[in-house]
Amino acid sequence: MDSRPYWIFIPEYIAAGSAVAIVALELIFPKMRRELLGYMTAVAGIAWAIAAAFYVGHDDRTYQGLLQVDNFTTYFRFLAAGIITVTGLLSATYMKDKAKTASEYYGLLLTAGLGMVLMAASRELITAYISLELLSFSLYILVGYLKKDALSSEASLKYILLGAFSSAMLLYGISLIYGVTQSTHYDGIAQALAARDSGTTPAVVVGFMLIIAGVGFKVAAVPFHMWSPDAYEGAPLPITAFLSTLSKAAGFALFLRLFTTAIVVDAVEWRWAIALLAAITMVLGNVLAIQQKNLKRLIAYSSIGQVGYMLVVIAAIGYGDQEIGRNASSALLLHIAGYTISTLALFTALTAYYNKTGHDTVEGLRGMAETQPFLALIVTVSLFSFAGLPFFAGFTTKLFMFQASTTDELMWLIGLAVVNSFVSLYYYLMVLRQVYLFDPPAGLARFKLPPLMMGLGGLLMLGVLAIGIYPGPFFEAVEHATQPLYQQGADLIVKNP
């Protein structure tokens, strides 16, 4: 069998080629309309998704044991393509007059998506690290892309400094794991850990903790979240949406691939750490969100709380059997999809509102129900989905996620997650209070939306409702996506205390 099946990466060739073509196009035609680059990026995202569709249900293929293309990888291809398509459309009008050049901005959206997909496909730690850095460096630049905005530059600098520290921790953790197992391949690590005669090895425990810290930084888990509020606040509005969706999905793709194969055999050495990380993250994220007056910072802390809910699944993988782990992983992928669609719907409304009014703060949303009731409806649906209210995506996906993760040892954590969901409803209602109970600013009259923004917002809102009301087809799709994870780990024995 060919060990170098280059054809399995055709969707990624399309994405990388599109990034190069978009940068080259502005070099050749410097006076072209910048919004066209955003629409071209959206087209590239659609082409990426179409190419990925041909890999659904195909046999798993591995490139030299480093990267694997299976249904799990294909799921994240679709997710990355969808996020990039929506972000490209949102950026087309938002970035029109924000910077002298825009092609690099759109090229970096595509390279960040490539990093996410390669993280999901990685079967080896160094490959996963390089993929993560491809994503991270793209995000560092995108956050600080508005060079004349001091807040954007400051956010990027903080993000880079903390990101470098987290990368160092991750690399040190990888080196410790390699020192004990003599392998960086997930399968090799699992076999070496399963074959040990001795008990807990301190180097393995420290290595696990450093890897958790490194990846925890990328998903903004507490206490590795310090960069998140500043980056969200300083980034261009569409990039805040991009950060909130793509980076978290990428981090959990790596978490799932790594924790269901490489280190599941030593679950006793990390599962309590993940459970405590989940508890601290959801509590601190929601408590600090209550105090926020800036809308972007509120969303940042809200997303940190969402990360806490998602970490419950990673803890469940260490506490449960194969069936519990598989069901919980499927529920996590469904929740990531629901959270992503809800976030993109919210930012579609916020971007459309900002383009007309110049307001992107909590108080700036005053009277939105009068000036643009359709956008107010999208904001309401998105926030209710985040809070986990019935008939919206967040309710259904959280229900599946917590139900699938239920074990005797994790009942306390699931109870804490439910309580935090109720807490989050308070600060979401504070935002909606501004939208519905106050008059709009003087001089701001009702306005019409561009057809593209109206259609995009409506489509995303329907997606939120579809997952909330009829999740069956979506859950069936994510079950196929998680199947490869547990086929590979079926022979591994979890070491229980």
- Write out pLDDT tens, residues 199-210: 667 888 888 889
- Write out pLDDT tens, residues 441-474: 877 778 888 899 999 999 999 999 999 999 989 9
SS (H, E, C) 475-495: HHHHHHHHHHHHHHCCCCCCC
Q: Average of pLDDT values for 82-103?
A: 87
- Write out pLDDT tens, residues 195-234: 776 666 788 888 888 998 888 888 889 888 888 899 998 8
Q: Average of pLDDT values for 419-439?
A: 91
Is residue 45 assigned to a domain? no
CA Rg, the chain, in Å? 22
For 276-291, letters b (16+ CB in 10 Å) and e give ebbbbbbbbbbebbee
* CA-based nearest residue to 363, from 435, 291, 428, 290: 435
Is residue 459 assigned to a domain? yes
- Write out pLDDT tens, residues 284-320: 999 999 988 889 999 999 999 999 999 999 988 877 6
Q: Average of pLDDT values for 139-147?
A: 89
Is residue 26 assigned to a domain? no
Measured CA to CA, the distance from residue 371 to residue 440 in angstroms comes to: 7
Q: Average of pLDDT values for 428-446?
A: 86
Is residue 11 assigned to a domain? no
pLDDT of residue 170: 92
pLDDT of residue 444: 77
Q: Residue 283 corresponds to which amino acid?
A: V
Which residue bears the tokens 């480093």? 66
Instruction: Note the helical H segments in 124-270.
Output: 125-143, 150-181, 186-194, 202-219, 227-234, 237-242, 248-257
Residue 333 has pLDDT above 70, yes or no: yes
* Region of residue 492 (phi > 0: left; psi between -120 and 50: alpha; otherwise: beta): beta
- Write out pLDDT tens, residues 33-72: 878 899 999 999 999 999 999 988 777 788 888 899 999 9
Domain count, the chain: 1
Is residue 425 assigned to a domain? yes
Phi, psi angle pair for 291, to nearest 5°:
-85, -5
Is residue 163 assigned to a domain? no
Is residue 381 assigned to a domain? yes
User: Taking the model in full, what pTM does it have?
Assistant: 0.93
Tell me the three state secondary structure of residue 3. Answer: coil
Query: Which residues span the domain enclosing 347?
Result: 270-497
Is residue 346 assigned to a domain? yes
Residue 369 has pLDDT above 60, yes or no: yes
Structure tokens at 14: 């399309």
Residue 490 has pLDDT above 50, yes or no: no
